[in-house]
Amino acid sequence: MRQFTGIDKLINSFDQALRSLVPGATSAHRENPANEVDTQLAVSEARHVAGLMRVNHSGEVCAQALYHGQALTAKLPNVRREMEFAAIEEQDHLAWCEDRLKELDSHTSLFNPVWYSLSFGMGALAGIAGDKYSLGFVAETERQVSLHLIDHINQLPSQDDRSRKILTQMNEDELHHRDTALKAGGVDLPLPVRIAMTGISKLMTKTSYYI
């Protein structure tokens, strides 16, 4: 099996970033769970749902960056493979959210390159700190993402089954990633780190809803 050089890894990281940030560059591996559902929304409802889906899309950009950064610096091959597999599943979420935004005649967040850069750096640092902390970082990230998804599901208009189907499947996947990371040896992160993650998440949420 070919051993990748530092230049190979750099090129691959750049390609992953482009696929995560350029609209239409990411394709889902699984069928969109909302394909068989029809929904009609009022203008004000569609605007609110678009804001929620834009936040969720930004969250998936962050997830891609975290996994890419962690896979780059993970020490154990099995942990690296786990990060890479999780990133592939997160690609589905990215594509599904983008599809829904197009349906709502809306757009992805202009700040996504900022969120990607910050998250990639945090993921790489977590990998450098050690695999047990890297896995713990995944578990905590997915826990916080799940809380956001549940909140957004509760905010959806009652008739918006398309968005609900997407977010429900996303939440199931996030909880699976969390449980997998914990079973693989992830540890609880220090309280200051968890607080910092929550703060960054709130900033991303409030910004991406509008821009």
Structural contact between residues 168 and 69, judged by C-beta atoms closer than 8 angstroms: no
Mean pLDDT of 68-83: 69
What is the pLDDT at residue 3?
Answer: 57
**Mind listing the pLDDT tens digit for each residue in 9-47?**
556 656 666 566 667 667 778 889 888 888 889 999 999
Structural domain including 52 reads: 41-210
For the ranges 21-30, 48-57, 104-113, 174-183, the lowest mean pLDDT is seen at 21-30
pLDDT for position 83: 66
The answer as to whether 95 is a domain residue is: yes
Q: Binding residue per annotation — 174?
A: yes
Q: Is the residue at 13 inside a domain?
A: no
- Residue with the bigger pLDDT between 210 and 22: it is 210
Which is more confidently placed, 197 or 97?
97
Identify the pLDDT of residue 73: 72
Residue 31 falls within a domain, yes or no? no
Work out the average pLDDT over 193-202: 80
- Does residue 20 sit within a domain? no
60 marked as binding residue: yes
Q: Is 90 annotated as a binding residue?
A: yes
Residue 17 lies in a domain: no
What is the tally of structural domains in the chain? 1
Domain contains 28: no
Q: Is residue 116 part of a domain?
A: yes
Q: What pLDDT sits at residue 20?
A: 63
DSSP state at residue 109: -
Q: Give, rounded to a whole angstrom, the gap between the first and last alpha carbons of the chain.
A: 44
Q: Is 103 annotated as a binding residue?
A: no
Q: Which helix (H) or strand (E) holds 70?
A: helix 43-73
Average pLDDT, the chain: 82
129-186 pLDDT, tens digit per residue, is: 777 887 888 888 888 889 889 999 999 999 999 999 999 999 998 888 888 888 878 8
* Residue 102's pLDDT band (cuts 50, 70, 90): very high
DSSP-based three-state secondary structure for 211: coil
Is a pLDDT exceeding 80 seen at residue 82? no
CATH assignment of the domain containing 142: 1.20.1260.10
DSSP string, 114-179: HHHHHHHHHHHHHHHH-HHHHHHHHHHHHHHHHHHHHHHHHHS-TT-HHHHHHHHHHHHHHHHHHH
Residues whose CB is less than 8 angstroms from the CB of residue 170 and which lie 6 or more positions away in sequence, other chains included = 56, 93, 96, 149
The confidence score (pLDDT) of residue 84 equals 66
- Does residue 126 have a pLDDT over 80? no
> Does the annotation place 68 within a ligand binding site?
no
63 part of a folded domain:
yes
Burial of 66 (0-12, 13-18, 19+ CB in 10 A): buried
**Across residues 87-109, what is the average pLDDT?**
88
Residue 142 is labelled as binding a ligand: yes
